[in-house]
Structure formats: C-alpha cells, structure tokens
Copies of this chain bind each other. A is one copy, B any other.
Amino acid sequence: MKKLINDVENVVLDSLHGLELAHGDLVRVDYENRVVLRKDAPKQGKVGLVSGGGSGHEPMHGGFVGMGMLDAACPGEVFTSPVPDQMMAADEAVNGGAGVLHIVKNYTGDVMNFDMAAEMAAAESGVRVESVVVDDDVAVQDSLYTAGRRGVGLTVLMEKIVGAGAEAGRDLDTLVALAKKVNGQGRSMGMALTSCTVPAAGKPTFDLGEDEMEVGIGIHGEPGRERRKLASAREVAEMLVEPILGDLDYTGSPVIAMVNGMGGTPLLELFIMYNEVYRILEKHGVTIARNLVGNYITSLEMAGTSVTLLKADDDLLKLWDAPVLTPGLRWGA
C-alpha cells in the first residue's frame, strides 16, 4: 500500500490537524467530538448547515466548511459513517437559534446516524433539526450500501447553494424546500479506471483488469452498472451523460455542470472530459451556465470521473454566484 500516512489508525486525525493548520483562518476542529467547524460558529440568527460522512472524499466535506457553505462537517473514518454523537455535537455547536439543517448523502449508515442525532439534539437541547437526503446517482437503483439511489456529486452543489441561502438569512423551512428542489433537479453518474485502497484494508477494494473500467461506480469503490473495456474520453462522456439526460428532462433550463475527478485523474484529463460533456450537451440543446472542473468529491486515489448536472433557474444561479470562502471552494469573497 503506497500512501503518505503515518499509521492506519490516525489517518483521519492527522489529516484534520493538517486541515486546521493550513486553513485556521476559516475553520477550527473540535478534536474531542471530531467535528470541523466554521471558525465563527455559531452565527446567531442563521440556520446552521451540517453535513458529513466517511472520510476519503476530500475536499468534501471538511473542505466545504466556511462562509457561504457548511457550518460544520462530521468526518467518519475512511469510507465509514460518522456516529450520532459527532453529529449532535455539531448540531449544538452551530445552533444560532434558527435551527439546523443536515445534508445527508443517501447511504444507510449516514441516514440512520444523522436521524438519530437529530432526535438526540432536539431532545437534549431543543434544537430544531431537519434533514435532507441527496440521492442523485442514476447508475443504480439500490446498491451494496443504500436503499434507493446513492448520494454523490450533487452533494457538492447542494452544499454551495443551500449554504448561500443560509448565509442570506433564509429560514429553515425555506432551506429544506430549496435543498429538496436541488435534489429533484440534479443527477450524477461516475466511472472508475482504477480501484482505491482503504488504509485499514491495505489492499484495493476491487480488481480491475488492465483493459477494463467500471461504469456507474459509487464513491466507495462499490460495484457500478457494468464492467467494460476501456474507451475514449468521448465514449466515456456519453456513457455518463446519456443516462443522466435519460433520467430527467433537462431541456429549457441552463445547467450547472460538474466534471469531478475521483482523486487520481489529472486535471489535464478532466478538461478533456469537460470538453466532451460540453459537446454532448450542446447537441442536446442543453446550455451550461456554470461549471466546476476538478477534484471535489473523491474516492481516495481512484482514477476516474463523475458528471453532475443540475437544472438551474435564476434563484439557483444567484445562490451559486454568491461569495464562498472555504478551504475547497472560494470565489467572490
């Protein structure tokens, strides 16, 4: 296993120390409860936005804590759900009196633990906590780790947009509706050229032949739709975009498009992918209004890419363009 780590037990902790040392102007880490907090949390009168999930997807979620995005992120061990105690500590730390919203990727452990935390926080401190589940992955209907679709790339876009809404002072009910709207209007699909190695496991999660790729992969190396022979960037883009367009009617609205790297794919290739995605959408009459190209929701060192398309309207674009200042995403601030 070739990794820049010290010992397998401290991978997440060591990385949190580095995150806080590098971005101490934006975030602080509560090591006892294992929560990444916005430096100035809680913000009185603002809805607190909390997300989290297994580590190994950096910059998500800890890298998206800061002005205009999350108030707290709960990192689990690599590819392992965080626990309810972490989430409850996060809820209490970010509660500014206007309630808390959980953004939860649809994985069974995450959903169960975030639900339990919401109940505990409400019971213990009277915080009102709502949850919205992201389930944007069109690749599979159910998976090894989920009932229903998995929550993948759309989570990044939702955290940005709902974060901007919270920053603008929108109330909890309005933000729940906004998050559900984003979830209803966004879809994703991903693929992998290589597997990845969870540090504690010490060997690749799955085996892929030298001439093979996995299409419809999740973000934990769980199986996808199908294993295929290697193909060109153009063909791969079609394999990802066409199922998305087949699942939701994207005509008539501009889209926010993300071409995401899974961690081990160079930016050189991600721009090649973006070019292909753009051309396919153009053929379908779909216009990209905003884009993200880079590593935003990763699977450790996996080589591969995912595409996320979100139907946007004026309100979503305004929220997208609002200033954001986090370790992983920053503009206009």
CB distance from A99 to the nearest CB of B (A): 31
**Distance between Cα atoms of A302 and B6 in the complex (Å):** 20
| Chain B residue at minimum C-beta to C-beta distance from A58 | B267
User: Which residues does chain B contribute within 8 Å of A270, judged by CB atoms?
Assistant: 4, 18
A176 to chain B, nearest CB (A): 30
Instruction: Choose among B2, B291, B293, B305 the residue that contacts A194 (Cβ–Cβ < 8 A).
Output: B2
Residue A86 CB within 8 A of the other chain: no
| Chain B contacts for A275, CB-based, 8 A | 14-15, 17-18, 21
How many residues of chain A get a CB closer than 8 Å to chain B's CBs? 57
Supposing A6-B233, A230-B2 touch, asked if A21 and B274 sit within 8 A by C-beta, the answer is: yes
Instruction: For residue A63, give the distance in angstroms from its CB to the closest CB of chain B.
Output: 7
Indicate whether A189 reaches chain B with its CB closer than 8 angstroms: no
Number of copies: 2
Does B298 contact A267, Cβ atoms closer than 8 Å? yes
Binds B, one of A161-169, A243-251, A258-266: A258-266
Residue of A56, A230, A275 most packed against chain B (CB within 10 A) = A275
Contact of A266 among B19, B263, B288, B331 (CB under 8 A): B263
CA distance A298 to B22 in the complex (A): 20
- A210, B188: Cα distance in complex, Å: 35
Contact A305 to B4, CB < 8 A, known contacts A15-B269, A58-B267: yes
**Which chain B positions have C-beta within 8 A of A6?**
232-234, 272, 276
Query: Which residues of chain B come closer than 8 Å to A238, judged between CB atoms?
Result: none
Q: Which of A6-65 contact B (CB under 8 A)?
A: 6-7, 11-12, 14-19, 21-22, 55-56, 58-59, 63
Q: How far is the CB of A308 from chain B (nearest CB, A)?
A: 14
Whether the pair A278, B21 counts as a contact (CB closer than 8 A) is yes
> Which residue of chain B is the closest to A55 with respect to CB atoms?
B268
Known: A4-B272, A18-B273, A22-B274. 13 other contacts (CB 8 A): A3-B269, A5-B269, A14-B272, A15-B269, A18-B270, A18-B271, A22-B291, A56-B268, A58-B271, A59-B267, A263-B264, A263-B267, A267-B298
Interface CB pairs A-B, < 8 A, 10: A3-B193, A5-B232, A6-B272, A11-B272, A18-B271, A18-B275, A21-B288, A58-B268, A263-B264, A264-B264
Tell me the A residues contacting B by CB distance below 8 Å: 2-7, 11-12, 14-19, 21-22, 55-56, 58-59, 63, 78, 193-194, 210, 213, 230, 232-234, 236, 263-276, 278, 288, 291, 293, 295, 298, 300-301, 303, 305, 330-331
